[in-house]
C-alpha cells in the first residue's frame, strides 16, 4: 500500500537535477499549478550544457550574468554541476540567504547599489558587466534577457504538461520576465499541434507590453516585467495579457496558500488570479499556471500583510482594448499574437514615446 503512494526512488547526481522538475498540483476549480522550487534551473542547466556541447565554452571557464535572484541561483547551481566558474552582478534583491548560498557554491557575487529607479538599476548592472568583460575577455556573458539559448530547457516542462493533459485545448498562464518560460512551453506545445492559448502576466509600469506609462503605487512584482527591452520576449506568442497590482497579487498568493497549501511567490499569486479569471471566461480549456518560486522571499513584503488580502471573488479585471485604458489594480487585454512592431504602433497611438 505504502509503495503505491510513493514515487519511484531516484538517486540524482546533483541537487540541480533533483529540484528542476515542478510539482503539478490541482488547485481550485480544476486548475493545474506547476509549482517550482526555483524555476530557472532547467533553463540554466540546459543553456550551460549546450554551450559546452557546442564548444562555445570549456569546463573551467567563467560564466557571468546579471540577475535579481532566481537566475543567479540557477546559474550558480548549473556552474557547480558542470565545473564552471560563475560571476553574478546582482541587484540588492539578491538577499542575504541567497548571497551566502551563492558564495558557498563557489560563485562570486557583486551587488550594484540599488536605486529607486528600476531602469537605472538594470542599466547600471549591464554597464558593470561590460566593464568586467573588457577586463576579462574570456568570460562568457549568458545574457538571459536576450539569448534564446534560455528557451531550450523548458521543452521538458512542455512535455510534462503534454503528459498531464494529453488531449484538448490548453491555456497556459504565467508571469513574463524574459519570456523564456511561458514562450518556450507554448511554442513547443504548439509545434506538437496542440491548441494553446498563452496568457502573460505583467506588473504595472513594465515596458515589455507597453505599460511604462502606468504605475503601481505599492511596489512591483519581483522577476516579472522590465523597464528595459528584453529581446527574449516573443510578443507574437501571447493571446492575452494581464496587468496585476502588488495588492492583488499578494491577495491571490495568500488565497493560493490558504485554499491549496501552495506557498508560492507574488508572480505565482498573480498567475493564479488570472488563471481563475480566464477559466471563468472559457472552461472548455484546461488551465495550467506557473508558480515560479516558493513564498519564502516574500514573507516580510507580502505574506505578513495577509490580514489586508482581498477575497478572490471581490477582485475583477477591467477588460480593455487599448493600452490607453490600462488601470490599476487589474487590467486585461486580448493581445492576439501581435508582434513587437505592432506594439510600437500601439504606443505611438496612445502617445507614449518609445
Ligand atoms: C518570481 C518570478 N516569476 C516569474 C518569472 C518569469 O520568468 P521568465 O524570465 O521565464 O519570463 C521570473 C523571472 O525571473 C521570476 O523571478
Q: Report pLDDT digits (tens) over 210-228.
A: 999 999 987 777 789 998 8
Q: Which of 88, 224, 264, 294 to mutate to test the pocket of ligand 1 (most atoms within 8 A of CB)?
A: 224
Give me ligand 1 centre to Cα 52, in Å. 25
User: Residue 68 — very low, low, confident or very high, per pLDDT cuts 50/70/90?
Assistant: confident
Nearest CA to ligand 1 atom 4: 175
Q: Report the alpha-carbon distance of residue 229 to residue 232 in Å, rounded.
A: 9
166 vs 345 pLDDT, higher one: 166
CA–CA distance, 248 with 328 (Å, rounded to integer): 10
Average pLDDT over residues 319-325: 97
Within 13 Å and on the Cβ side, how many CA atoms surround 92? 8
Cβ of 177 below 6 Å from ligand 1: yes
pLDDT for the residue 342 = 55
Q: Which pLDDT belongs to residue 5?
A: 77
Q: Is 251 in the pocket of ligand 1 (CB under 6 A)?
A: no
- Residue 311's pLDDT band, with cuts at 50, 70 and 90, is very high
Q: Which ligand 1 atom lies nearest to the CA of residue 43?
A: 10
250 lines ligand 1 (CB under 6 A): no
Work out the percent of the chain whose per-residue pLDDT is above 70: 94
Of the two residues 168 and 114, the one the predictor is more confident about is 168
- Cα–Cα dist 88/67, whole Å: 7
What are 294-299's contacts with CB under 8 Å, separation 24+? 294/37, 294/38, 294/263, 294/264, 294/265, 295/253, 295/257, 295/263, 295/264, 295/265, 296/97, 296/263, 297/69, 297/95, 297/222, 297/265, 298/222, 298/253, 298/265, 298/266
Task: Express each pLDDT in 8-46 by its tens digit.
Answer: 899 999 999 999 999 999 999 899 999 999 999 999 999
Q: What pLDDT is attached to residue 353?
A: 23
Give the β-pairing of 62-67 and 31-35: unpaired
- Contact yes or no for 252/308 (Cβ under 8 A): no
Instruction: Tell me, in angstroms, the distance from the centre of ligand 1 to residue 144's CA.
Output: 11
Query: Mean of the pLDDT values across residues 49-57?
Result: 98
* Whether residue 268 has pLDDT greater than 90: yes
Q: Write out the three cell numbers for 322.
A: 487599448
User: How does residue 312 score in pLDDT terms, banded at 50, 70 and 90?
Assistant: very high
Q: What is the structure's pLDDT at 116?
A: 65
pLDDT tens-digit map of 145-203: 999 999 999 999 999 999 999 999 999 999 999 999 999 999 999 999 999 999 999 99
Q: What are residue 274's phi and psi, to 5 degrees? A: -70, -35
Confirm or reject: Cβ of 201 under 6 Å from ligand 1.
Answer: no
Q: What is the mean pLDDT of residues 323-329?
A: 97
Q: Is the pLDDT of residue 348 over 50?
A: no
Tell me what the mean pLDDT of segment 244-263 comes to: 98
Q: Quick check: bond before 329 cis, omega within 30? A: yes
Pocket of ligand 1 contains residue 266 by CB under 6 Å: no
pLDDT at residue 124, rounded to an integer: 87
Query: What does the longest C-alpha to C-alpha distance in the chain come to?
Result: 65
- Of 88, 178, 266, the residue with max ligand 1 atoms within 8 A of its CB, to mutate for a pocket test, comes to 178
Q: Look at residue 3 in the predicted model and tell me its pLDDT.
A: 59
Ligand 1 neighbourhood includes 292 CB (under 6 angstroms): yes
Q: Which atom of ligand 1 is nearest to the CA of 266?
A: 1
Mean pLDDT of 302-331: 97
- Average pLDDT score over residue span 260-278: 98
Helices 96-104, 70-82: axis angle to 10 degrees equals 10
Query: Measured between alpha carbons, how far is 313 from 210 in angstroms, rounded to an integer?
Result: 28
Amino acid at each position: 500500500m505504502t509503495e503505491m503512494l510513493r514515487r519511484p526512488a531516484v538517486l540524482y547526481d546533483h541537487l540541480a537535477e533533483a529540484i528542476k522538475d515542478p510539482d503539478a498540483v490541482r488547485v481550485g476549480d480544476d486548475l493545474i499549478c506547476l509549482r517550482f522550487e526555483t524555476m530557472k534551473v532547467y533553463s540554466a542547466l540546459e543553456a550551460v550544457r549546450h554551450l559546452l556541447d557546442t564548444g562555445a565554452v570549456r569546463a573551467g571557464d567563467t560564466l557571468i550574468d546579471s540577475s535579481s535572484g532566481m537566475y543567479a541561483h540557477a546559474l550558480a547551481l548549473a556552474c557547480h554541476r558542470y565545473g564552471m566558474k560563475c560571476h553574478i552582478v546582482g541587484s540588492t534583491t539578491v538577499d542575504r540567504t541567497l548571497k551566502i548560498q551563492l558564495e558557498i557554491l563557489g560563485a562570486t557575487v557583486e551587488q550594484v547599489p540599488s536605486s529607486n529607479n528600476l531602469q537605472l538599476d538594470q542599466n547600471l548592472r549591464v554597464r558593470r558587466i561590460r566593464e568586467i568583460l573588457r577586463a576579462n575577455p574570456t568570460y562568457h556573458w549568458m545574457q538571459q534577457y536576450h539569448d534564446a539559448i534560455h528557451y531550450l530547457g523548458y521543452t521538458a516542462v512542455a512535455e510534462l504538461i503534454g503528459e498531464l493533459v494529453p488531449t484538448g485545448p490548453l491555456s497556459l498562464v504565467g508571469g513574463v520576465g524574459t519570456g523564456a518560460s511561458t514562450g518556450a512551453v507554448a511554442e513547443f506545445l504548439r509545434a506538437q499541434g496542440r491548441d494553446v492559448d498563452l496568457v502573460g502576466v505583467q506588473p504595472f509600469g513594465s515596458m515589455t507590453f507597453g505599460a511604462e506609462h502606468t504605475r503601481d503605487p505599492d511596489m512591483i512584482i519581483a522577476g516579472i516585467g522590465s523597464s528595459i527591452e528584453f529581446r527574449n520576449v516573443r510578443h507574437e506568442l501571447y493571446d492575452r495579457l494581464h496587468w496585476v497590482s502588488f495588492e492583488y497579487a499578494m491577495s491571490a498568493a495568500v488565497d493560493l496558500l490558504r485554499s491549496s497549501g501552495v506557498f508560492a511567490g507574488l508572480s505565482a499569486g498573480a498567475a493564479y488570479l488570472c488563471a481563475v479569471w480566464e477559466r471563468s471566461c472559457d472552461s472548455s480549456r484546461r488551465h495550467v499556471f506557473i508558480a515560479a518560486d516558493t513564498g519564502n522571499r516574500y514573507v516580510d513584503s507580502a505574506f505578513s500583510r495577509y490580514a489586508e488580502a482581498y477575497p478572490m471573488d471581490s477582485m475583477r479585471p477591467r477588460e480593455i482594448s487599448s493600452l490607453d485604458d490600462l488601470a490599476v489594480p487589474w487590467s486585461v487585454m486580448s493581445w492576439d499574437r501581435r508582434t513587437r512592431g505592432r506594439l510600437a504602433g500601439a504606443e505611438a497611438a496612445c502617445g507614449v514615446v518609445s
